C-alpha cells in the first residue's frame, strides 16, 4: 500500500487481520478443550516436560497465537496530531518477538496453497489444529500460512503468563503470527 491508501481501507484491512487472529485464538482454545475432553495425546510436547507439575498444561501450550495481548487501536486526535509520525491513525500492535540476528528463525508449518509435510510432532499437532478448525467451522475456515517462532520475549506479558504455569524456559512454546485463511 502507498501513501494514498484511504484510512477506511487501512481500518478494514487491520480489522480483518485482527479478527482472523481472534478466530485462530478462539479455535485453538476449542481445540485444546476438545482434546482435553477426549483425552487425546497431542504431539508437539515441550522439551521442558519435567518442569511441569501437570502434563495437562504442557500438552496444549505447545503453540499459541500472538493474539492475547495484541491491540487493535486508533490514535486519538491531540495537540500533537499535526505532527503525527505515522502515516495512518489505525494500527495493530502485537507482542514483539525477538528478531535480532542471534534469535531463532521463523518456521513455516503450512503454506498458502499446500499443507506440506508433517515430519515432526509439532507440525503434526498444528496440522491437526488446521483440520479441527475446518471441521469446527463447518468447512468455512481453512487456516493456512501458519508460521511462528519458538523464541518469544521473556518480557512480554504472554510469556510471563505462560512461564507462571511452570518453570518453562523461553524456548518452550511456539508463537504463531500473521496467519491467513481460505474461506
Partner 1 sequence: MSKFPDDDADGSYTKKRKQSFASRSTGKNISSRQTRQGTLTLSTPNSPPRKKVLRSAFLAPTVKRSRNPPMIEYSFSRTSVKFDDKGRAKFVVSDNVEHISIASDWLEGEGLFKSKQPYDKTGFIGEGFTKRGIYVSVELYHRYEILADFLIGSVQQ
171 scored as a contact of partner 1 (CB under 8 A): no
Which residue in 74, 111, 120, 169 binds partner 1 (CB under 8 A)? Answer: 74
Single out the residue of 89, 66, 77, 82 nearest to residue 9, CA to CA.
89
73 scored as a contact of partner 1 (CB under 8 A): yes
In angstroms, what is the minimal distance from the CB of 96 to partner 1? 4
Which residue in 55, 93, 108, 169 binds partner 1 (CB under 8 A)? Answer: 93
Single out the residue of 69, 63, 80, 82 nearest to residue 150, CA to CA.
63
Choose between 47 and 87: whose C-beta lies nearer to partner 1.
87
Within 13 Å and on the Cβ side, how many CA atoms surround 89? 12
Which residue in 156, 166, 168, 176 binds partner 1 (CB under 8 A)? Answer: 156
Mind giving me the DSSP string for 120-173? Answer: SHHHHHHHHHHHHHHHHTTT--EEE--EEES---TTSHHHHHHHHTS---TTSS
Alpha-carbon gap, residue 158 to 154, rounded angstroms: 9
Choose between 118 and 144: whose C-beta lies nearer to partner 1.
144
Cβ–Cβ < 8 Å for 45, 20: no
Which residue in 44, 95, 172, 179 binds partner 1 (CB under 8 A)? Answer: 95
User: Left, alpha or beta for 116 (phi > 0: left; psi -120 to 50: alpha)?
Assistant: left
Identify which range of 40-48, 52-60, 97-105, 108-116 contacts partner 1 by CB under 8 A: 97-105
Site residues (CB under 8 A) for partner 1, limited to 13-52:
13-15, 18-19, 22-23, 26
Write the binding mask 51 to 70 for partner 1: x where contact by CB under 8 A, - elsewhere: ------------------x-
175 scored as a contact of partner 1 (CB under 8 A): no
Number of Cβ within a 10 Å radius of residue 113: 8
Sites of contact with partner 1 (CB under 8 A)? 1-3, 5, 10, 13-15, 18-19, 22-23, 26, 69, 71-76, 78, 80, 84-88, 90-101, 137, 153, 155-157
Amino acid at each position: 500500500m502507498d501513501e494514498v491508501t484511504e484510512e477506511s481501507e487501512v481500518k478494514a484491512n487491520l480489522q480483518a487481520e485482527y479478527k482472523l487472529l481472534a478466530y485462530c485464538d478462539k479455535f485453538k482454545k476449542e481445540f485444546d478443550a476438545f482434546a482435553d475432553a477426549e483425552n487425546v495425546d497431542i504431539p508437539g510436547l515441550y522439551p521442558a516436560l519435567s518442569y511441569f507439575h501437570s502434563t495437562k498444561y504442557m500438552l496444549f501450550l505447545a503453540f499459541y497465537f500472538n493474539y492475547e495481548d495484541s491491540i487493535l487501536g486508533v490514535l486519538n486526535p491531540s495537540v500533537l496530531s499535526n505532527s503525527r509520525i505515522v502515516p495512518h491513525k489505525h494500527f495493530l500492535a502485537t507482542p514483539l518477538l525477538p528478531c535480532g540476528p542471534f534469535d531463532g528463525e521463523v518456521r513455516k508449518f503450512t503454506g498458502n496453497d499446500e499443507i506440506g509435510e508433517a515430519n515432526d510432532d509439532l507440525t503434526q499437532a498444528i496440522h491437526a489444529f488446521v483440520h479441527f478448525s475446518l471441521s469446527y467451522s463447518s468447512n468455512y475456515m481453512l487456516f493456512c500460512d501458519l508460521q511462528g517462532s519458538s523464541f518469544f520475549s521473556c518480557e512480554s506479558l504472554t510469556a510471563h503468563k505462560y512461564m507462571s504455569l511452570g518453570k518453562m524456559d523461553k524456548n518452550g512454546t511456539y508463537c504463531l503470527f500473521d496467519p491467513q485463511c481460505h474461506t
